[in-house]
């Protein structure tokens, strides 16, 4: 009887420690999120494009009052491991933000990697990553941080982008249009 009581008490103590560790992990992830949020605002150098991958921002209308933006990262030129991405909308400071900003790789228990010409979802090698969010306005300013590590996970690289995007509902673009643009692709 004493043996079973001891085993039950030991199991409860160990499971209590496990719950405590999960809370520490969640707190560490939130602190990393907060640190990234601050680093985006502290950054004063933004790049227009990356030599390591392609970055594109697309905006779509999803209802009369809502627009969805997608930040797409794909076509890696180098191996990128443990990728983390965060997007801050319209210069909303952390103190006044009433929602979590879009992220990938920070809160998930999955590691995302981009490696040229390799896709293996089970091992975390993806073709591309998409981070998206919802806006009530058709124009948006996005500050984007992309972070990744090298193979040994010793070198950390961060790039910061600032993108202004406006929803285009398909209205024809005014001004001169080069009619021969498509012909160049079909007639070498």
Does the residue 151 lie in any domain? Answer: yes
pLDDT of 147 reads 97
Instruction: Give per-residue pLDDT as tens, 24-77.
Output: 668 889 999 999 999 998 998 999 999 999 999 999 999 988 999 999 999 999
Chain-wide mean pLDDT for the chain? 82
Which pLDDT score, from 0 to 100, does residue 131 have?
A: 95
Domain assignment of residue 75, yes or no: yes
- Rounded CA-CA distance 67/80 in Å is 30
- In the block, tokens 């560790």 appear at 21
**148 in a structural domain:** yes
Domain tally for the chain? Answer: 1
| 110 domain-assigned | yes
Domain of 46: which CATH number?
2.60.40
Confidence of residue 19 (pLDDT cuts 50, 70, 90): very low
Quote the pLDDT of residue 70: 95
The answer, yes or no, to whether residue 182 has pLDDT greater than 80, is: no
> What global pTM score does this model have?
0.75
> Is 81 a residue whose pLDDT tops 50?
yes
Q: Is residue 111 domain-resident? A: yes
Q: Judge whether residue 184 has pLDDT over 70.
A: no
pLDDT at 101: 93
Does residue 183 fall inside a structural domain? no
Quick check: is 85 in a domain? yes
147, β-bridge pairs: 84, 158
Q: What is the chain's alpha carbon radius of gyration, rounded to the nearest angstrom?
A: 22
Q: What is the pLDDT of residues 26-37, one digit of tens each?
A: 888 999 999 999
Q: Is residue 92 included in any domain, yes or no?
A: yes
The domain containing residue 115 runs over which residues? 41-166
Helix (H), strand (E), coil (C) string for the chain: CHHHHHHHHHHHHHHHHHHHHHHHHHHHHHHHHHHHHHHHHHCCCCECCCCCCEEEEEEEEEECCEEEEEEEEECCCCCEEEEEEEEEECCCCCCCCCCCCCEECCCCCCCCEEECCECEHHHCECCEEEEEEEECCCEEEEEEEEEEECCCCCCEEEEEEEEEEECCCCCCCCCCCCCCHHHHHHCC
């Amino acid at each position: 009887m004493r043996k079973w009581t001891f085993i039950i008490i030991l199991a409860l103590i160990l499971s209590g420690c496990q719950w405590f560790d999960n809370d520490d992990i969640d707190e560490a992830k939130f602190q990393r999120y907060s640190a990234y949020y601050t680093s985006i605002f502290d950054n004063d150098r933004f790049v227009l494009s990356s030599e390591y991958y392609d970055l594109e921002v697309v905006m779509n209308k999803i209802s009369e009052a809502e627009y969805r933006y997608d930040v797409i990262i794909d076509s890696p030129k180098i191996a990128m491991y443990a990728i983390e991405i965060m997007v801050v909308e319209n210069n909303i400071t952390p103190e006044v933000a009433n929602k979590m900003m879009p992220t990938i790789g920070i809160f998930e228990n999955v590691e995302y990697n981009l490696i040229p010409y390799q896709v293996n979802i089970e091992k975390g090698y993806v073709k591309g990553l998409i981070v998206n969010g919802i806006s009530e306005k058709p124009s948006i300013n996005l500050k984007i941080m992309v972070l990744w590590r090298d193979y040994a996970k010793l070198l950390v690289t961060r790039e910061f982008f600032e993108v202004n995007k406006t929803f285009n509902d398909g209205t024809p673009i005014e001004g001169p249009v080069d009619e021969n643009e498509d012909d160049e692709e079909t007639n070498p």
